[in-house]
Amino acid sequence: MDKIKNQTRPVFPFTAIVGQEEMKLALILNVIDPKIGGVMIMGDRGTGKSTTIRAIADLLPEIEVVSDDFFNSHISDYDLMSDSVKTQLENNIDLSTQSIKVPMVDLPLGATEDRLCGTIDIEKALNEGIKSFDPGLLAKANRGILYVDEVNLLDDHLVDILLDAAASGWNTVEREGISIRHPSRFVLVGSGNPEEGELRPQLLDRFGMHAEIRTVRDASLRVQIVEQRSKFDQDPYGCIQEFSKEQENLKELIINAQDLLKDIVIDYDLKVKISHICGVLNVDGLRGDIVTNRAARAFAAYQNKKEVDINDVKQVITLCLRHRLRKDPLDTIDSGTKVDQVVNEILS
């Protein structure tokens, strides 16, 4: 219990969250394989979006980082290492490391490009010949989760920068001919309320997954959610203790899945069926095919399997494709239902 109380602020346990299975699965799969490309969570206000995202970050095992490094650099993985750390290693300088909680970075709605990307001190560079860089949120989010609430209200230019960094794993800042590049590998999570406006289709397409959440209508389930929240508010550490075993079990499942991921295989015929579904649904580009393959492999790893089967694809494909369908204002069914219909025909 003392270890629990050492936390700066108690976080609602992920395994205590009632319902919203689609959102929880999308977050777990992105944590297992960040290359899925993040998740966009659209739903009504007050449905636990922020609570769930903070809870998954808190659940994850600590990561080892180089001490006093702005970018949470990995001590041995070159792709997750800043240039200064690489230089020190090449010069055989001993570096100390420390374990930290997985970074959870919030992007405020009014953030500027400098706040997001970081800034170069031009004066220092010109006068002293030193590249002086003040890191932004993309640096702090490296190897963690970057959360943008109400992403549909964020300036399109900033959304572009975010998505480029999430896809490439790097952030480059250029000012007056001076360029600085640093690793920025993170799980991008956006949330929003569709009543406040949709994201442009070309930006929405860049999110790996799209989870839709609705206000729970079932009365008994609503009571269960309210009681669970009240219990946490009255005694947060008691609630954390109550769910500690479930939290530990889920953490082990995620770590195991991350280790298994590289060995998971998908049969060629199943890949063809995934691409057939994308073709029938008129999904533009190949991002839908790629993300569905990745997500299916992550789900198989999560189930502790070595090979993807049809059921794994069925579990993830709607999350991967529903936001990539062309919007038809005359359609009487939503995009998720349309995906389900085609999937059931082709994967029967």
Active site residues: 287
Compute the 3-state secondary structure of the chain and give helix, strand, coil in percent, each to the nearest 5.
50, 15, 30
**Torsion angle of the four alpha carbons 39, 43, 46, 52, in this order, in degrees rounded to the nearest 10:** -20
Q: What DSSP assignment string belongs to 87-109?
A: HHHHTT----EEEEPPPEEE--T
Distance CA 75, CA 343 (A): 43
What pairing do the DSSP bridges indicate for beta strands 63-66 and 97-100? Answer: antiparallel
Q: Give whole-number Cα distances, 165 to 78, 108, 134, 335, in Å.
A: 17, 17, 17, 28
What are the phi and psi torsion angles at 72 (to 5°)? 50, 40
| Residues with Cβ within 8 Å of residue 266, at least 6 apart in sequence | 293, 296, 297, 307, 308
DSSP state of 303: T
Residue 120: beta bridge partners?
Answer: 133
Among residues 293, 212, 170, the alpha carbon closest in space to that of 42 is found at 212
Helix axes 49-59, 244-260, angle to 10 degrees: 70
* Encoded tokens for 301: 């790893």
Residue 285 Rama label (left phi>0; alpha psi -120 to 50; beta) = left
Residues in the chain: 348
